[in-house]
Amino acid sequence: MKSGKLRAARVKGCAPNSGGKQTRPWYRRRLLKQDDIPAWSRCLLVFCLCFVLSGPFYTQAASVHLSWDRNPAPDIGGYRIYFGTESGRYPNIITLFDSAVDPDRVVYSVHNLKEDNTYFFAVTAFNYAGQESGFSSEVSVFLRQGTEFQDADRDAPHNYIKNGGFEYGWETPDGWEIFDWVPEGREANTMPGMWTAREALSGDFSLKLNNETRSNIGWKGEIVIFEVPYPRTIEFGGWSKALDVSPGCLYSLDLMVVYEDGSRQWYYSNQLSFSHGTHQWQLRHMAVPLDMGVQAVQPFVIMYGCTGTAWFDDITLHVVDE
């Protein structure tokens, strides 16, 4: 967020936890004793969602900054933020991978919200096996136009990938394009990729790849250009599900990095490669420390030299140290 004068609505406060306690709006702390709570459900019941709300004067969109206590369980893969303008109905979903940048709390900014509207928020957690907890207590806030607020939390991570959950588009997902690079002597696939509602990890849609001929197929996301190129640590990841993917091929997330000198580097290490064969949703992500000035990055999901079918969902990219 750019510096300068901010405006925001007042905070309605934090949702009470299951013990009935409630924090004051401007404090964040762990609330719940963990006795008699199932281990997996425990992670959401301890949350108290707090808000810092802000929006620059020069836009018509407001932002909500959420914060909650980090779950200490070792297998937490991340969190999902659900929100909408009706209580209990959340058409919008944001996936956030867990990170050790702050050992005590998680913060995230939800941008481009409309003023003079009430928004309702809830959070879930998921583990590396793809299991998702129940919802946290719902909290709501009314974004009143023009109220000034001077103490915005500007440390919230931001997902730089456009439409990483693939929920938006018309005939094709916004920000994503299919490609099919056919090696010499091989035939092109009849339908290498689809934007499908038949399988999804979260929300309603995912990206599908179907490789019949062992060609190099994939989806490429929109290029992310950084205004100021400087060394960054980037955290990149996402989920995939497979059906009969052949062994010995490259089935992976992939990140192209363009440095300020024009050179390029591709990241598709073992940390971003998925298991072959048939499996349910798997999470892969890695932190990429880059010691040169980064001009741009571009996300890919790929099946090179494979046969089989794979689905992808909830692709995210965060700049850890900005």
Of 121-130, 136-145, 291-300, where does the model show the most confidence? 291-300
* Separation of alpha carbons 79 and 204, rounded Å: 17
Residue 32 has a pLDDT of 26
Q: Which of 100, 128, 143 is the last residue of a domain?
A: 143
Burial of 144 (0-12, 13-18, 19+ CB in 10 A): middle
Q: How many domains does one find in the chain? A: 2
pLDDT greater than 60 at residue 50: no
Both 184 and 100 in one domain: the answer is no
Find the domain containing 88 and state its range.
6-143
Higher pLDDT among residues 10 and 202, named by residue: 202
Higher pLDDT among residues 177 and 40, named by residue: 177
Strand partners for 50: 67
- Arithmetic mean of pLDDT, 170-192: 75
Both 126 and 252 in one domain: the answer is no
Residue 187 has a pLDDT of 67
Which band of pLDDT confidence, cut at 50, 70 and 90, is reported for residue 280?
A: very high
- Arithmetic mean of pLDDT, 195-200: 81
pLDDT greater than 70 at residue 255: yes
Which band of pLDDT confidence, cut at 50, 70 and 90, is reported for residue 311?
A: very high
For the chain, counts of helices (H) and of strands (E): 1, 19
* Contact yes or no for 242/277 (Cβ under 8 A): yes
Which band of pLDDT confidence, cut at 50, 70 and 90, is reported for residue 241?
A: very high
Q: What would the pLDDT profile of 210-227 be if each residue is shown by its tens digit?
A: 998 888 899 999 998 888
Is 153 part of a structural domain of the chain? no
Residue 219 has a pLDDT of 92
Q: What would the pLDDT profile of 72-90 be if each residue is shown by its tens digit?
A: 777 888 888 899 999 999 9
In the chain, the percentage of residues whose pLDDT exceeds 90 is 21
Other beta carbons less than 10 A from residue 134's beta carbon: 12
Helix runs in the chain, H state only:
39-45
Give the E-state strand segments of 115-249 in sequence order.
117-127, 139-143, 169-170, 172-173, 176-181, 193-196, 206-211, 216-221, 224-245
Both 244 and 280 in one domain: the answer is yes
Both 222 and 310 in one domain: the answer is yes
Is 156 part of a structural domain of the chain? no
Both 139 and 173 in one domain: the answer is no
Provide the CATH number for the domain around residue 26: 2.60.40.10
* Contact yes or no for 236/299 (Cβ under 8 A): yes
Pairing of strands 216-221, 176-181: antiparallel
Both 315 and 173 in one domain: the answer is yes
The type of residue at 275 is S
Both 137 and 194 in one domain: the answer is no
**Which residue from 74, 128, 139 is spatially nearest to 237, judged by alpha carbons?**
128
Q: What would the pLDDT profile of 92-129 be if each residue is shown by its tens digit?
A: 888 887 765 456 677 777 777 787 788 898 888 888 88
Residue 197 has a pLDDT of 74
Both 136 and 213 in one domain: the answer is no
- Arithmetic mean of pLDDT, 245-262: 92
Which band of pLDDT confidence, cut at 50, 70 and 90, is reported for residue 207?
A: very high
The set of residues, in sequence order, having a beta carbon less than 8 Å from that of 20 and lying 6+ positions away, is none
Both 177 and 313 in one domain: the answer is yes
Chain mean pLDDT for the chain: 73
Residue 52 has a pLDDT of 39
pLDDT greater than 80 at residue 205: yes
